[in-house]
């Protein structure tokens, strides 16, 4: 039997649900694995992994390493890092990809030092150099002013995190086949040094920026907190989530959950409507890869117009309500 | 309460531009600042000290001029500062940086809490905090918004994608701190004066005695293979005039692109 090399995706689950980014990583992982001649596998620490396998096969995983343990039901850095690092040390994958979620950004750097691997954060593009056997990991640096391609020539695995919504997800079918490979890790020797006491979801569809097809965002040009109403009204007409620039978050006009950008969320909706946002590089870093960008700004020289597919030069206080009115009329 | 805050000196990314010909950063004249998130880590430490007493030590690894960032931290209220600097540490990626910083922290005794910024704005990796914690073999939580001392543990509120979690974590612990935590207090004039004169030790290769294969460029698994300017978008369309007409044109265009 020839053992093929493997490309792994960390299958993050929370409270019984796979993180959306896992599907995206598998979809991209499939392209890379094909190019490299590797087998695509998922790594799934949880209390009971069997339930997730079909979904992972459907997005391209040929193998799922399930690591079942009651201690792995919810994310705990020590337990997860031990489980994943041990599996890596034993199976020696070539590449491991993680979502750059709050979990992935804690797990991946811990595992990286445990297994002596390089790690590139927040990649926006991945490619494989077949000749050298290197993963080409491209990411923005200095707030998006520059792009850098990082390689990791002498260490394996090569590891990267990728933010949500950077890659498209492609489901192959509803009944792909794959192999579940149960793996057991003895966690009894890992000291219990931290305990989760509470987990609170502040459910509100207007802040679910990751899932949204449409996002309407407001910036300082909105003028004052009350004026965010027109942004919300347009969003609700479009079934959109509401985003914001850091300036409005810092001013206390809207909660930080809405912030898009380098220090906020990275989003990739079908349509992103930026209203009264100048387009500072740190804001662009979080929304530049949206399919279609619409910008409303009264300053024709605002840098947001450099990335906008459709730029509307004018006063957002007139344009935004007008947009809402015409959408409503079209629906009626 | 003995707290260490790791601060990084970074170029102010607001003011960095790229030379489109050479694909190099125009660094000349770009001011250096304390990484903004590290200010939040520093303030969290100062607040804990206000409540519980103790000492706040700031550590920075970087070239000799990182000394300036440390002095700024002292002027805001940190008690002591240590500069980790050596030519041999140059070119370190986050792996080698984590290792080197962890050696410095090991030299300090009785540390209860180590705070990091959520991420550094030059690289945005958010990897050094978790890396250091692992090298020190202490528990770590990312994205902390607030922390309370509860006997031998800390109660930490951490931000998640859609809300927050409350954790209980054993001492000594490491946390990375988000911006929503607080805002750094103003420096005081008296502390500013003292900071100018403060003696800041530099710890280099001889002081830290690292394994040579784990530091600097050689100890860094990742290498930069290429740097380039971000691509520019083509086929842009700008509309101006009457709002009603612009919007009608926009909707028509969005429909043509099948997104509406
Ligand atoms: C380390 C760091 C991280 C950062 N991270 C982020 C981040 O994650 N996200 C983020 O957004 N920013 C971030 N920033 C801040 C960023 O640099 C900008 O300051 C911020 O994005 C500006 O927000 P704005 O566009 O709303 O405000 P402004 O730059 O003030 O722009 C307001 C715009 O509104 C227009 N306008 C005003 N009135 C009207 C009107 N009536 N109709 C139409 N247009 C109008 C103006 O022409 C202007 O272009 C970061 C900065 C730093 C240093
Ligand atoms: N050279 C450094 N010196 C001191 N602290 C650092 C250094 N690099 C990173 N850190 C700390 O680690 C955090 C995360 O940095 P990074 O992993 O580079 O995004 C920063 O906010 C700092 O608290």
Domain with residue A320: its CATH number is 3.40.50.1220
**Is residue A285 in a domain?**
yes
Burial class (CB in 10 A: 0-12, 13-18, 19+), A153: middle
Q: Are A206 and A257 in contact (CB under 8 A)?
A: no
Q: Do A147 and A228 belong together in one domain?
A: no
| Token pair listed for B222 | 């990742």
What residues are paired with B203 via a beta bridge? Answer: B84
CA distance A242 to A204: 10
Q: Do A118 and A71 belong together in one domain?
A: yes
Q: Do A13 and A123 belong together in one domain?
A: yes
Burial class (CB in 10 A: 0-12, 13-18, 19+), A154: exposed
| Token pair listed for B170 | 């054993």
Q: Which helix (H) or strand (E) holds B22?
A: none
Helix axes B67-76, B36-52, angle to 10 degrees: 40
CA distance B172 to A193: 10
- The CA R_g of chain B, rounded to the nearest whole Å, is 22
Vertex B101: Cα angle to B96 and B107 (nearest 5): 135
**Is residue A188 in a domain?**
no
| Minimum CA distance residue for ligand 1 atom 38 | A221
Considering every ligand atom shown, identify the ligand nearest to the alpha carbon of residue A288 and give its number: 1
Chain-centroid distance of CA B242 in Å reads 46
- Tell me the per-residue pLDDT of A45-90, one tens digit each, with 9 for 90 and over: 999 999 999 999 999 999 999 999 999 999 999 999 999 999 999 9
CA distance A196 to B96: 30
- The CA R_g of chain A, rounded to the nearest whole Å, is 22
Nearest-atom number in ligand 2 for the CA of B131 is 17
For residue A168, what pLDDT band results from cuts at 50, 70 and 90? confident
Q: Are A37 and A4 in contact (CB under 8 A)?
A: yes
CB contact under 8 A, A141 and B123: yes
At residue B163, the 3 state secondary structure works out as strand
Buried b / exposed e over B44-62, threshold 16 CB at 10 Å, is bbbbbbeeeebbbbbbbbb
For residue A140, what pLDDT band results from cuts at 50, 70 and 90? confident
Q: Do A173 and A58 belong together in one domain?
A: yes
Chain B nearest-CA distance from A155, in A, is: 6
Q: Are B60 and B83 in contact (CB under 8 A)?
A: yes
Q: How many CB atoms within 10 Å of residue B87?
A: 10
Question: Residue A76 is part of which domain span?
Answer: 4-182
Q: Do A176 and A236 belong together in one domain?
A: no
CA distance A239 to A114: 44
pLDDT of residue A268: 80
Q: How many CB atoms within 10 Å of residue B23?
A: 14
**Is residue A199 in a domain?**
no
Q: Which residue has the higher pLDDT, A148 or B174?
A: B174
pLDDT of residue B109: 87
- Return the sign of the alpha-carbon dihedral for residues B129, A163, B31, B90: positive
Q: Which of B162, B170, B247 sits opposite A323 (nearest CB)?
A: B247
pLDDT of residue A112: 96
Q: Do A259 and A116 belong together in one domain?
A: no
Q: Are A311 and A292 in contact (CB under 8 A)?
A: no
**Among B residues 49-78, those touching chain A with beta carbons less than 8 Å apart:** none
Please state the ipTM of this predicted complex. Answer: 0.85
Count of domains observed in chain A? 2
Distance A243 CA to ligand 1 centre (A): 12
Average pLDDT of the residues in A118-144: 91
**Is residue A93 in a domain?**
yes
Chain-centroid distance of CA A22 in Å reads 9
| Single residue among A143, A164, A182 that ends a domain in this structure | A182
List chain B residues with pLDDT less than 70: 13-14, 17-27, 233-234
Alpha helical stretches, state H, B77-167: 94-107, 128-136
pLDDT of residue B27: 67
| Token pair listed for B201 | 């030790």
CB contact under 8 A, B166 and A196: yes
- List of E strands, chain B: 2-6, 9-11, 17-19, 24-26, 32-34, 55-61, 80-84, 113-117, 140-150, 153-160, 163-170, 173-177, 202-203, 223-228, 237-240
* Cβ-Cβ contacts under 8 Å, A144 against chain B: 230
- Tell me the per-residue pLDDT of B163-193, one tens digit each, with 9 for 90 and over: 899 999 999 999 999 988 999 999 999 999 9
Q: Is A264 in the pocket of ligand 1 (CB under 6 A)?
A: yes
Q: Do A38 and A153 belong together in one domain?
A: yes
Distance B94 CA to ligand 2 centre (A): 8
DSSP secondary structure string, A13-58?
EETTEE-HHHHHHHHHHHHHHHHHTPEEEEEEEES-THHHHHHHHH
Tell me the pLDDT of chain A averaged across its residues. 93
| Token pair listed for A141 | 């640096």
CB contact under 8 A, B124 and A122: yes
**Is residue A51 in a domain?**
yes
Distance B122 CA to ligand 2 centre (A): 10
| Token pair listed for A24 | 């995206």
Nearest to A103 by CA among A78, A77, A122: A77
Q: Do A127 and A238 belong together in one domain?
A: no
Q: Do A173 and A219 belong together in one domain?
A: no
Q: Do A137 and A233 belong together in one domain?
A: no
Domain with residue A166: its CATH number is 3.40.50.620
Q: Do A116 and A240 belong together in one domain?
A: no
- Tell me the per-residue pLDDT of A3-54, one tens digit each, with 9 for 90 and over: 789 999 999 999 889 999 999 999 999 999 999 999 999 999 999 999 999 9
Residue A113, pLDDT > 60, answer yes
Q: Do A242 and A297 belong together in one domain?
A: yes
List all residues whose CB is within 6 A of at least one atom of ligand 2: B 6-8, 35, 37-38, 41, 59-62, 94, 97, 101, 116-117, 119-120, 123-129
Chain-centroid distance of CA B172 in Å reads 20
**Is residue A190 in a domain?**
no
**Is residue A264 in a domain?**
yes
CB contact under 8 A, A306 and B169: no
**Is residue A193 in a domain?**
no
pLDDT of residue B18: 67
Half-sphere exposure of A326 toward its Cβ, with a 13 Å CA cutoff? Answer: 17
CA distance B157 to B136: 22
Residue A298, pLDDT > 50, answer yes
Beta-strand pair A241-244/A214-218: parallel
Considering every ligand atom shown, identify the ligand nearest to the alpha carbon of residue B99 and give its number: 2
Residue A327, pLDDT > 90, answer yes
Q: How many CB atoms within 10 Å of residue A180?
A: 18
Burial class (CB in 10 A: 0-12, 13-18, 19+), B151: exposed
Q: What Cα–Cα distance (Å) separates residue A22 from each residue in A308, A314, B135?
A: 29, 40, 28
Q: Are B146 and B181 in contact (CB under 8 A)?
A: yes
pLDDT of residue A1: 40
Considering only alpha carbons, which residue of chain B is nearest residue A328? B251
């Amino acid at each position: 039997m020839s053992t093929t090399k493997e490309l792994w995706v960390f299958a993050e689950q929370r409270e019984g649900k796979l993180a959306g980014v896992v599907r995206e990583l598998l979809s991209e992982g499939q392209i890379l694995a094909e190019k490299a001649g590797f087998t695509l596998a998922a790594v799934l620490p949880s209390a009971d992994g069997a339930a997730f396998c079909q979904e992972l096969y459907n997005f391209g995983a040929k193998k799922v390493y399930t690591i079942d343990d009651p201690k792995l039901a919810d994310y705990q850095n020590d337990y997860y890092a031990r489980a994943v690092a041990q599996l890596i040390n034993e199976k020696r994958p070539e590449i491991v990809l993680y979502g750059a979620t709050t979990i992935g950004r804690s797990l991946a750097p811990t595992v990286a030092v445990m297994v002596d691997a390089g790690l590139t954060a927040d990649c926006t593009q991945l490619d494989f150099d077949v000749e050298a056997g290197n993963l080409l990991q491209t990411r923005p640096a200095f707030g998006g002013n520059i792009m850098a391609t990082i390689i990791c020539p002498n260490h394996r695995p090569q590891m990267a995190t990728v933010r949500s919504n950077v890659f498209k997800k492609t489901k192959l079918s509803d009944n792909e086949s794959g192999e579940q490979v149960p793996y057991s890790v003895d966690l009894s020797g890992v000291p219990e040094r931290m305990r989760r006491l509470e987990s609170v979801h502040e459910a509100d569809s207007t802040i679910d920026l990751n899932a949204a097809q449409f996002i309407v965002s407001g910036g300082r040009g909105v003028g004052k907190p009350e004026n965010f109403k027109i942004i919300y009204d347009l969003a609700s007409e479009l079934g959109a989530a509401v985003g914001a620039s850091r300036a409005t978050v810092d001013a206390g006009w809207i909660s930080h959950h809405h912030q898009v950008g380098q220090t906020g969320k990275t989003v990739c909706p079908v349509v992103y409507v930026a209203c009264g946002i100048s387009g500072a590089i740190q804001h662009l870093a979080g929304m530049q890869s949206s399919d279609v960008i619409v910008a409303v700004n009264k300053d024709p020289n605002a840098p947001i117009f450099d990335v906008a597919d459709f730029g509307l030069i004018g006063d957002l206080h007139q344009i935004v309500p007008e947009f809402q009115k015409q959408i409503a009329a079209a629906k009626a | 309460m003995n707290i260490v805050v790791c601060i990084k000196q970074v170029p102010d990314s607001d003011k960095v531009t790229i030379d489109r010909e050479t694909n190099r950063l125009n660094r000349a004249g770009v001011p250096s600042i304390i990484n903004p998130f590290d200010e939040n880590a520093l303030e969290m430490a100062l607040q804990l000290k206000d409540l519980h007493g103790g000492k706040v030590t700031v550590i920075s690894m970087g070239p000799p001029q990182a000394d300036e960032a440390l002095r700024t931290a002292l002027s805001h209220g940190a008690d002591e500062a240590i500069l980790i600097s050596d030519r041999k540490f140059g070119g370190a990626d986050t792996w080698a940086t984590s290792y080197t910083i962890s050696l410095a922290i090991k030299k300090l005794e009785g540390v209860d809490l180590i705070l990091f910024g959520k991420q550094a704005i030059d690289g945005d990796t958010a990897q050094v905090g978790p890396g250091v914690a692992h090298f020190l073999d202490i528990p770590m939580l990312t994205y902390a918004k607030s922390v309370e001392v509860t006997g031998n543990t800390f109660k930490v509120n951490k931000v998640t994608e859609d809300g927050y979690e409350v954790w209980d974590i054993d001492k000594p612990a490491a946390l990375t701190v988000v911006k929503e935590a607080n805002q750094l207090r103003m420096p005081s004039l008296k502390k500013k004066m003292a900071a100018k004169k403060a003696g800041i030790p530099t710890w280099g290769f001889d002081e830290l005695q690292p394994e040579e294969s784990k530091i600097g460029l050689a100890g860094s698994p990742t290498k930069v293979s290429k740097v380039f300017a971000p691509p520019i978008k083509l086929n842009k369309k700008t509309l101006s005039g009457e709002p009603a007409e612009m919007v009608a044109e926009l909707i028509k265009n969005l429909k043509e692109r099948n997104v509406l």
